[in-house]
Amino acid sequence: MRETSPFYIYTNPITVSEASAALKALEILDSDKGRKMLKYLREMTAYFRQGLVDLGYEVVKGEHPIVPLMIRDTNKTVELVRYLKDNGILSTGIYYPVVPKGDEEIRFQICAEHTKYDIDYALKVLKYYKEARL
């Protein structure tokens, strides 16, 4: 069964170093430092999401640190991801056929290491992009 089960054959156990890193991450999250990091992450995520809304962009509501920016067009999504990359911003374009036509989006991953300056910079770049297209 171990050699033929389709659910098992392509799986690999995690390494000792991966298990150690996961354990350390859980220890950090369960500490005062971790709780402060999570609070900050929530604040920066909300700040970024509201900044997008204030610029007139459509976002998916929620509190998750992955912030979807709805573009709803494959070519425009590819173009904006390229523009963001050219301006030093990492984002992930999700477009047809991964999602149905009309549901294309760009996902931003906010992390506890992002500063307010980082978020403001991303919003400034998105503002310039939008203004250049009007």
Per residue in 62-102, pLDDT (tens digit) is 999 999 999 999 999 999 999 999 999 999 999 999 999 99
Q: Which residues share a beta bridge with 69?
A: 59, 106
Report the alpha-carbon distance of residue 111 to residue 119 in Å, rounded.
10
In the sheet with 105-109, reading across from the earlier edge strand, the strands are 58-59, 66-70, 105-109, 92-94
pLDDT at 3 over 90: no
**Among the listed residues 103, 58, 25, the one whose alpha carbon sits nearest the alpha carbon of residue 93:** 103
pLDDT at 36 over 60: yes
Domain 38-132 classification at class level? alpha beta
What is the value of pTM for the model shown? 0.84
How much is the average pLDDT of 8-22?
82
Looking at residue 100, its pLDDT comes to 93
Q: Encode pLDDT of 101-112 as tens digits.
A: 999 999 999 999
Residue keyed to tokens 């459509």: 58
Q: Where are the domains of the chain?
A: 38-132
